Structure 1
Amino acid sequence: MTFTMFTTPWCGYCHRLKGQLDREGIPFEIVDIEREPDAALTVEQANGGNQTVPTLLFADGSTQTNPSLAQVKDKLAALAS
């Protein structure tokens, strides 16, 4: 099961999480909120009006903001069960 990571090119937290997910072989989609204004609105809705990245959007509609790798793995496991 995949999810979407909303990010910006300059976000250090985003780069760190992307690297961790890649090393674990966890698939995900990346959306740059600076290039897609609609995506920025999605991030704002999830974060009380703030464009905080990384924000992850899962298949069930839930989100995580700046999660740890463990939090992402836990969420994916919960969605798979």
Structure 2
Amino acid sequence: MLRRWTLAGVVLLAGAAVGIATGSVIPVVVFAALAAFASPLIFPRSVTAAEAQGRSTDDGLAVIYWRPGCPFCVRLRATLGPAGRRAHWVDIWRDPEAAAAVRAVADGNETVPTVILAGVPHVNPDPLWLRKQLLAG
């Protein structure tokens, strides 16, 4: 659980250090906002890999495998915006089956984000491309 918040904690501590060094509260506020953005809070509630695959089969939505603290996942989530709700999100750190599914399509690596869209895996896809795909479907 702690490693899920590591990036957000580091950003918050950096903001506090900059705030103390400059004697200003503005960096603290800015870094606190960045820490919230880097936290797991910006991601939709994760489901298990099995649950996501079953739901995807029923509703045709994409499955997005991610992990907390991953800057590429944060970039993807930020780019998707509300379109990110049109997918099932699976945290590979919470579900060993999800981590195995990612390794199976990413040459044995746990490279995230990995997206399964219409049954086709996409390892670290372009966020703008994925946004268009989610909005089109």
TM-score, normalization by structure 2: 0.49
TM-score, normalization by structure 1: 0.79
User: Quick one: distance in 2 between partners of 1:74 and 1:20?
Assistant: 11
Structure 1 gap segments, 5+ residues each = none
Partner in structure 2 of residue 13 of structure 1: 72
Tell whether 2:128 aligns with 1:70: yes
Q: CA deviation at 1:4?
A: 1.1
Work out which of the two has the higher radius of gyration on C-alpha atoms and give 1 or 2: 2
Structural RMSD (CA): 1.8
Give % identity.
Answer: 33
**Matched residues, number:** 76
Q: In proportion to residue count, which structure has more helix?
A: 2
Structure with the greater relative contact order (CA < 8 A, sep ≥ 6): 1 or 2?
1
Structure 2 gap segments, 5+ residues each = 1-59
User: Which aligned segments of 4 or more residues in structure 1 are displaced greater than 3 angstroms?
Assistant: 73-77
Q: In proportion to residue count, which structure has more strand?
A: 1
Q: CA deviation at 1:36?
A: 0.3
